[in-house]
Amino acid sequence: MQINLTELFTRDGKELDVTAEVEMTRFHTAEGDYELADQTPAKLHLTNAGNRTIELEGGIELALIIPCSRCLEPVKVPFSLDLARTLDMKLSERERAEALEEQPYLQGYTLDVDQLVCDELLVNLPMKVLCKEDCKGICNRCGANLNTAPCDCDRTSLDPRMSVIQDIFNQFKEV
């Protein structure tokens, strides 16, 4: 959803409350795309702080479907995001980039709520998602989910430094 901020500049101290629907259905990251399972509308409170500066406060609750880091089963991960930003409308896009304060959610006098939520999600994504604390993962030989049933694969890991000796044994093995 796009919010036009021009009406806030009519006078200092003017406030605007917005309930914005997030229009995205998938969240894209470098690791992959995650589906949005649940979401509530973003509630934003915008205040003209004077000197062409807008204070943004608000929040949103949503959930993403992220695969478990061990077994790859889908896990519903809830997020409660608090949004707090100071939007300095005096700076141009180039000046923001030079000051390392890029705001891709702000284009001219338009606030892109979806991009604002995406930026906040990127910061709050967990490093590792587990379906349960004692997840056994998948077999590295056959790919079976070890949480549902054990597999019959030989999972003894040999020291890679001993692989030359293992090759010698395999060559002279009688059939």
Q: Which residue has the higher pLDDT, 53 or 59?
A: 59
Closest CA to 138 of 126, 153, 157, 128: 153
Distance CA 125, CA 40 (A): 18
- Classify residue 66 by burial, with Cβ atoms within 10 Å: 0-12, 13-18, 19+: buried
Instruction: Kindly state the average pLDDT of the residues 59-67.
Output: 94
Going by DSSP bridges, is the β-strand pair 2-4/74-88 parallel, antiparallel, or unpaired?
A: unpaired
Instruction: Kindly state the average pLDDT of the residues 133-149.
Output: 89
The beta strand positions in the chain, using DSSP E, are 2-4, 15-20, 26-28, 33-39, 42-50, 53-67, 74-88, 106-107, 110-112
pLDDT value, residue 99: 62
Q: Which residue has the higher pLDDT, 155 or 163?
A: 163
Does 108 have pLDDT greater than 80? no
Q: Which two tokens stand for residue 58?
A: 């608000």
Q: What is the DSSP letter of 132?
A: S
Residues with Cβ within 8 Å of 142's Cβ and at least 6 positions away in sequence, in order, are 151, 153
10-28 residue pLDDT tens: 788 888 898 988 888 899 8
Q: What is the CB-side half-sphere exposure of residue 109 using CA atoms within 13 A? A: 8
Q: Which two tokens stand for residue 132?
A: 């349960």
Q: Would you list the domain boundaries of the chain?
A: 2-124, 138-175
Return the minimum-mean-pLDDT range out of 85-89, 141-145, 169-173: 169-173
pLDDT band at 31 (very low <50, low <70, confident <90, very high): confident
pLDDT band at 29 (very low <50, low <70, confident <90, very high): confident
Q: Which amino acid appears at position 11 of this protein?
A: R
pLDDT value, residue 155: 66
Mean pLDDT of all residues belonging to the chain? 85
pLDDT band at 54 (very low <50, low <70, confident <90, very high): confident
pLDDT value, residue 51: 82
Q: Which two tokens stand for residue 31?
A: 């690791």
Strand partners, 80: 61
